[in-house]
Amino acid sequence: MEIEIVQKNFQFLEPFEPLEEVKNIIVHHTSRVNMTAEQCHEFHQKERGWSGIGYNFFIEKDGTIVEGRGHHVGAHAYGFNRTSIGICMTGDFDIENPTYKQWTSFLKLSDYIMKQYQLSPHQVLGHRELEGVQKSCPGKLVNLNEVRHQIAEYLH
């Protein structure tokens, strides 16, 4: 399957580290209605003090998939960054749903990553499903069992 991943000219403050064995895809939302990949990169650098955008991949509302850290250690899920791929979709899914184009891109990207790392749908987790996470990420309107079900259907 053909997948287009856009490369931005993000400048990171530290060199990338290779991922270890990838065991999960972790799903996120920006919790802001409109935030571009560039704005997220700037926010993570200037506000959070990180090297740059923490997500491995970022999906814009129009469905554009942007490479963040790609297949390198991210900064998106404490304790899971070395063994997971973090996918963030822009939006606040406590109050809005992902756009159709975003969701289609999410399914395509998940399929691509899952085939690359031999993952199954039960290895796709929402950020809030991780131990110790208190936030609703990827949003109250996102039913994670339905996400896994849709991924399983998409894979077949």
* 13 domain residue, yes or no: no
Residue 113 domain boundaries: 20-155
CA 136 – CA 94 distance, rounded (Å):
8
pLDDT of amino acid 22? 97
Residues 113 and 121 sit within 8 Å (Cβ to Cβ): no
For the entire predicted model, the pTM comes to: 0.96
* 10 domain residue, yes or no: no
| Region 124-132 average pLDDT | 96
* 12 domain residue, yes or no: no
pLDDT of amino acid 1? 61
* 128 domain residue, yes or no: yes
Q: What is the CATH number of the domain that holds 137?
A: 3.40.80.10
How many C-beta neighbours within 10 Å does residue 28 have?
23
* 15 domain residue, yes or no: no
pLDDT of amino acid 155? 83
* 9 domain residue, yes or no: no
The pLDDT-based confidence of 2 (bands split at 50, 70, 90) is confident
